């Protein structure tokens, strides 16, 4: 028997999003708040899933089902695009107070977005800032979420993205290559690559050295 998880399905159309959410049983406060039944994640089931979004501090894991099988690969434990652990410090050159990153290609993923190693508190002494290059695949969707108490500024290098945002994600705005934009803390938003053929590339800066530790999922049908 593997670890126990509480299980629920979000309100979104499963034919569109095909998501399942799991809350670790070790988070009693989260379980009390959700009043959800338990699901045993057995050793037999575990090989068939791959984390695409997890945060040990917030106590949630999101997995995606594609064509009847679990797929993709994103987790707060820094799984690489091959499913192995990522040592982000190995990408950094420390010249003695100046920490450099020369390889910005994608090596890991989170919430359907691929990222390079980036600069953050995970591989530098930074305590209040992180920066990374992000890659959204054609047709990709970064599921609805909220940045808790930190700012985000983005410089869009390639492609176009549509943000659906605000309560219920009912507003929308499109930005294209060359645009810069700022996302206020606490604003619910979901991000769409506008193209079914081209990747989006962007530089993302956060006033949070932990990158996505303080990001929480948002149910866009809740308002």
pLDDT digits 0-9 by tens, 130-181: 999 999 999 999 999 999 999 999 999 999 999 999 999 999 999 999 999 9
pLDDT for the residue 223? 84
Domain boundaries, the chain: 4-71, 88-217
Taking the whole predicted model, whether its pTM rises above 0.75 is answered as: no
Residue length, the chain? 223
pLDDT for the residue 92? 97
Per-residue pLDDT of the chain (223 residues), as tens digits, is: 333 333 333 333 333 333 333 333 333 333 333 333 333 333 333 333 333 333 333 333 333 322 222 223 333 444 566 556 688 999 999 999 999 999 999 999 888 899 999 999 999 999 999 999 999 999 999 999 999 999 999 999 999 999 999 999 999 999 999 999 999 999 999 999 999 999 999 999 999 999 988 999 999 999 8
Interacting residues of 171 by C-beta distance below 8 A, sequence separation 6+:
164, 165
CA 168 to CA 72: how far, in whole Å? 26
pLDDT for the residue 190? 98
pLDDT for the residue 113? 92
pLDDT for the residue 52? 34
Pick the CATH number of 88-217 from 2.60.120.10, 1.10.260.40, 3.40.47.10, 3.90.340.10: 2.60.120.10
DSSP string of 63-83, one letter each residue: EEEETTEEE----TT-BBTTS
């Amino acid at each position: 028997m593997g670890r126990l998880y509480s299980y629920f399905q979000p309100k979104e159309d499963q034919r569109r999003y095909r998501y399942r959410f799991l809350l670790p049983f070790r988070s009693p406060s989260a379980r009390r708040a959700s009043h959800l039944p338990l699901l045993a994640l057995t050793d037999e089931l575990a090989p068939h899933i791959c984390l695409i979004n997890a945060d040990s501090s917030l106590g949630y894991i999101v997995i995606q089902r594609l064509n009847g099988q679990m797929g993709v690969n994103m987790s707060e434990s820094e799984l690489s695009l091959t499913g192995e652990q990522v040592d982000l410090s190995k990408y950094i050159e420390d010249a003695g107070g100046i920490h450099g990153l020369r390889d910005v290609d994608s090596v890991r993923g989170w919430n359907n977005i691929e990222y390079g190693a980036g600069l953050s508190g995970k591989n530098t002494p930074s305590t209040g800032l992180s920066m990374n290059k992000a890659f959204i695949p054609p047709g990709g969707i970064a599921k609805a979420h909220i940045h808790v108490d930190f700012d985000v500024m983005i410089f869009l290098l390639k492609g176009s993205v549509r943000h659906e945002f605000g309560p219920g994600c009912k507003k929308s705005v499109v930005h294209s290559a060359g645009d810069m934009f700022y996302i206020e803390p606490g604003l619910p938003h979901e991000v769409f690559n506008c193209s079914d053929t081209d990747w989006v590339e962007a530089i993302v800066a956060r006033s949070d050295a932990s990158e996505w530790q303080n990001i929480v999922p948002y149910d866009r049908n809740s308002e």
